[in-house]
Every structure is written in structure tokens, then in C-alpha cells.
Chain A
Amino acid sequence: MLSIQQLNKSYPLGQGALHVLRDLDLEVEAGEFVSIMGSSGSGKSTLLNILGILDDYDSGSYSLDGVLIRDLSEHKAAIYRNRYIGFVFQSFNLLPFKTAVENVALPLFYRKVPRKKRNATALEFLDRVGLKEWADHLPNELSGGQKQRVAVARSLITHPRIVLADEPTGALDTKTSTQLMGLFQELNDEGATIIVVTHEPDIAARTERVVRLVDGVIAADGAPDELELMTTELEAPAYTDEPSP
């Protein structure tokens, strides 16, 4: 489904360059539920951005569903994002002036699906995340957990090959986080391929495979119980994400 080989990415920094990802190899099969773990600066967000075609890489290769993702024009990249990828962000990234159902329907707007049809589809997906009654509410009328479920519904509406979630529980309390991970689990059971980036061991523990990044290389890769997540040095991250209200 997703194949990365010898991937390198660096950012210019002063005179030199910050080498964020070094010769990275990663394979993810369809239907997997993967978490990418790492402390701040480990390169996990950069990796996610590349996976999401939100950013370029320097060398190596990344192919998604057999399509090489490399040096795409912005136009092509936008179309591939819409076709292959669903995003769930830490800060939700819902458009504040659109209702829940309109937010969910937005990716279909860029597919030129007629309004009635896409709103009907969006309502189905909202129902699936248990928010059908909240369809006509604006994001600021929803709780953090509800917003994130709207975002999940939005990420699923195009039937993407993979769902990429960047610290999806970063702004949520423990109980809501647990519920969200439960939702991901359900979706995964129904066949969705999900990649979650997180620095929280207990979130990673709820996925089926953990890829641990340290300084831009994969330090460990396996089932969560094999990796003794709770006892690693990762427990105290360099920074904590500010939870939104």
C-alpha cells in the first residue's frame, strides 16, 4: 500500500542543514493500524507530512498504492491528496465558518460532487462517528472530542487509501482520547488503513504496530507489547502540546 525507500529529508538551517530523516525505509500494508512514535525533533511530523504529500523529500522514493509520489506539481499533489489521503490534525483544522456537515463534505466539493449529494454523504459519515444530531452546529459549538470526530468523518468521506492522524489526541483529555482511539479501531476493523503520529505511549499502545523514530531513523518497529513502551525514555517528551480549550 505504502512504500518508502532510502528516504532523506533535510531543512536548511543557518549555514548547514538539519538532516531530519535519514535513509528511511518503511512499508505499510493495506488494513494496518500503525503508530509512529518519537520525541519532538525525531522527524515523525516531517515523515507524516511527506506521507500526506504536504511536503517534498530530498532523495529516495515514496510510492502510494503503486504510484510514485515525487516532484509533483501543486495541482497534481492536491488531486492525489484528495484521492488517496484523509487527514486528522491535532488542532482539528475545521473551517470555523462552516457547519459540521459542511466541513465533512468539503473534500467532496473539490471532487465536484453536487451539493445535495455530498451533504447527504457527509451526514452518513457524521452518523458513523455518532454526531448526526450535531450536523448543523458550527465547530465552536462542539467539544474538542466532537470536533475531532468531525475531522475523522471528514478524513473518511473520500474513502482514502490511508488516514493520517497527526497527534489526534494531543488536544483531548484521557477519556475522549480513549474514545477516539476506539473509533479508529472500529474503522480499522472495517478495513481502513490508519497511521497515527503520537508521542504518547498509551496511545501508541492502542495501535497494532508501533514504529519508533529516533533522530530520523527507525529505532524499533513491532507490535506494541514487544516494545515495552511504558519504560522507554520517550515518556518525558521535550515539549507538551498545548491543549486547545
Chain B
Amino acid sequence: MIETFYEVMRRQGITRRSFLKFCSLTAASLGLGPSFAPQIAHAMENKPRLPVLWLHGLECTCCSESFIRSAHPLAKDVILSMISLDYDDTIMAAAGHQAEAIIDETIEKYDGQYILACEGNPPLNQEGMSCIIAGRPYLEQLTHAAKHAKAIISWGSCASWGCVQAARPNPTRAVPIHKAPGIPNDTPIIKVPGCPPIAEVMTAVISYIVTFDRFPELDRQGRPKMFYSQRIHDKCYRRPHFDAGQFVESFDDEGARKGYCLYKVGCKGPTTYNACSTVRWNGGLSFPIQAGHPCIGCSEDGFWDKGSFYDRLTNIQGFGVESDADKIGVTAAAVVGAAAVTHAAVSAVKRARHKGDES
């Protein structure tokens, strides 16, 4: 009785030809070659929808709001056709005990088979009761669902790193999912950071899992490599202005109107690993730098506690229009790379450059 994605699409009046085109586009959006399209088609034709429990802790719900903004695939098609979103208190019809019953029903029916999607994070202070679900600490609901999950997706910077409520002094002692007491050590955790993450990155992570029946390859910090292995700076359309020493000195100046580099007004693009400058936002329409604001580094661990968003990353002396462009690029990348605690700057630069050559 469980229908597949393909069947659903067919019933919508979508032709096989359009379906295959969709598969090619999906392959492309995942950064895969056209040879992967048949594999995607096969998966879409044969798989029931993947059960997902989407839990909400301390959060602002920006991840859900981002998710529903996905342009390809549309959130409607993900919810109706790819996954079975059995619990998500933001959109589910049921409330109270009928809602809570779904968690145990899902565990019973799909033990070890469902995805636990976490938005927000659990607080440990106040007996855990600064986030209450069904009269009990959210941490209890989280660990209960985590123990039976196939894998966990940590949506956004709250679940991945802690984000704003965990910024100093973290009054509720909010912790990211992987640091929450009681989360099984052997359950894979896929971090999809960002405040929020890009909508199409969220839906691509889900489609990848549904399509290939495996989890995307992760970096050392647990993020999908396909979206988080390059810095914003590496693929920024304003990068040539950085290399040429052409900077916005203050907002709405001549440089701002010409789209010069925002590094001097605080851009964190050089230390931020995310797909904003490649995938861009809201159907590829724009990203913060294109709209004239420096990147605030919202996908990085502890980005709230690294000084003002308008402070320059570091002072790099002695470069300007007269310098050699390559030299500036390498110097800048190495310096700012060193500022990022968790990354080996040189290898990151090399890797980024190598990948840049491929595309």
C-alpha cells in the first residue's frame, strides 16, 4: 500500500519524461554527474516514504521556515512524496497526547528505521525544564527518540553547535544534540549548520538519503562535504575585488554601490564553510554578500562569540591594488584560515583550490 515517489508524481499528471528530467536536475543539484540520474529514478520508483520524526527544542523555528522555502524540490513534494513526516509539532494536526503517542507508534513500527530530525537543542539548567514537552524536559523526548533512530539530522546551528541561546553566558546551558547526555554514541549524526541552513541544502540532504539509501559523506565535524567543504570566500562573486584590493570602506559608499569586497566591513566569508556563494538562497536568487551585507558566519561553531559582525577578521598589512593578486589571495586565506580554530588552514586552502579547479 505504501506508494513510491514515482507513483505519486505520475498521479499528479507528471509524464515519465518530466520525471526523468526531474531526476537529472536532482542529480545536478546534488553535484553529481548525469550518470546518476537513472539511479535516482530507480530509487524514486521503488521506495516507500522514509519516516521522519522532527523534534523541536530551544529554537526560533527558522530552520522549519527555511525548509518550507525550498524551491527545488518544493517542501510540499518532500512532505507528500519523499518522507513521511510523522511528527513535527510545528505543522502536525494532532496535539497533546495524540501527538505524543505518535513517537511511540513510530518507534514500534519503524524501530531503527526512521530519521530523527532535530531543530533546536536541549537545555540542561533549570532541571531541563526551560524546555518542556508534555510536562517533561525536552531532553527526555529527544533521548527517547534518539535511541531508536537510524540516524540523526542536526538541523541548523542550534542543533549542530548550540547557536544563540548557547552564546555567552548560556543561561539555560543549552547544548548541541551530539553533546546532549543520553544520545547514543553509535547513531550517525549529520550536521547541517547555518542560521538557518539554506533551504535547498536541507531538502538536498533529505533527497540524497532517500535516493541513495545512504548518508552523505561527512567531514571531520560531521557536515555533508558536498555543501560544507568550501568557504563562502572561495566562490564569492566579489572575490576578484578582494584580490584586486577593492573594498567597501563604509556602507553605501561608492564601493558598496559597485559591489566591491565586504571584507573591511566585517565579512566572515573567509572563515565560513557553507554553500551560500555557490547554491545561494531561495532558489539561487541571492545571498547576504550579494545583498550588500557582510557574511556573519552563521554556519560556524560559536559565531556569536567572535566579536562584532562589523569587526574586520584580522588586519592584513601591506596589500593593495599594486600587489600580485595571487599573493594577496594566498596570504589572506592563510591568515584568516589560522583564525578558524578547527581547520588546518593550509590543507583547507589546498583542498578548496583543488575543488575549485574541478568545477
B is a partner of A: no
Give A contacts to B, CB under 8 Å.
none
